[in-house]
């Protein structure tokens, strides 16, 4: 008897899945047609919470403009967070490292600290100096070679001479 598509016997379909090498599961056709448990569980939880998914229809041009606006906002947020990330890695230096960068002794650095000329942080009883604070101090003490205004010239003179008159004049 020739077999035709209409007369094929219908038997339960078995699929073998192997989530682990030891355990073999056999699922019937009716079990395969059921939604997976996690989707059904998700829907049931949403119904309990009163959350219902709704379909929103809109024109493609409106959708395009909405996605463009979202992309612009995302780019703005990325740029703003990138600025913070670039500015935030302010390395903490030890007293020796800071003294070496400033070309002063550790005692001079301690004196600068007590005169409040340099900011510092105390961690576990040890003084640490921010890299930005060292850079600020170096910038404040740098002589500007292209001084054009009288204020800049006076500042350069004060930096070079130490700001104190020399000799007997007071």
Instruction: State pLDDT tens for residues 77-116.
Output: 888 877 665 655 688 999 999 999 989 999 999 999 999 9
Residue 21 lies in a domain: no
pLDDT tens across 12-37, in order?
Answer: 444 444 454 444 455 555 555 665 66
Inside any domain, residue 170: no
What's the confidence (pLDDT) of residue 12? 45
- Nearest alpha-carbon partner for 158 in 169, 170, 142: 142
CB distance 143 to 156 below 8 Å: yes
13 part of a folded domain: no
Are the C-beta atoms of 155 and 114 separated by less than 8 Å? no
Task: Give, to the nearest 10 degrees, the angle between helix 95-102 and helix 106-114.
Answer: 100
Per-residue confidence (pLDDT) for residue 27, from 0 to 100? 52
Range(s) of the domain holding residue 153: 92-161
Q: Where are the alpha helices (DSSP H) in 26-130?
A: 29-33, 37-49, 60-87, 95-102, 106-114
The structure's pTM equals: 0.42
């Amino acid at each position: 008897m020739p077999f035709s598509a209409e007369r094929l016997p219908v038997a339960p379909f078995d699929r073998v899945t192997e989530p682990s090498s030891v355990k073999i599961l056999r699922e019937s056709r009716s079990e395969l047609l059921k939604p997976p448990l996690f989707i059904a569980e998700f829907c049931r939880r949403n119904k309990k919470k009163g959350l219902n998914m709704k379909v929103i229809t809109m024109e493609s041009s409106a959708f395009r403009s909405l996605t463009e606006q979202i992309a612009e906002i995302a780019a703005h947020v990325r740029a703003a967070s990138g600025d913070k990330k670039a500015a935030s890695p302010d390395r903490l230096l030890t007293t020796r490292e800071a003294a070496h960068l400033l070309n002063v002794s550790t005692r001079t650095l301690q004196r600068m600290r007590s005169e409040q000329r340099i900011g510092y942080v105390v961690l576990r009883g040890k003084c640490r100096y921010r890299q930005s604070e060292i850079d600020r101090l170096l910038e404040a003490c740098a002589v500007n070679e292209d001084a054009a205004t009288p204020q800049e010239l006076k500042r350069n003179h004060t930096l070079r001479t130490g700001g104190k008159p020399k000799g007997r004049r007071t």
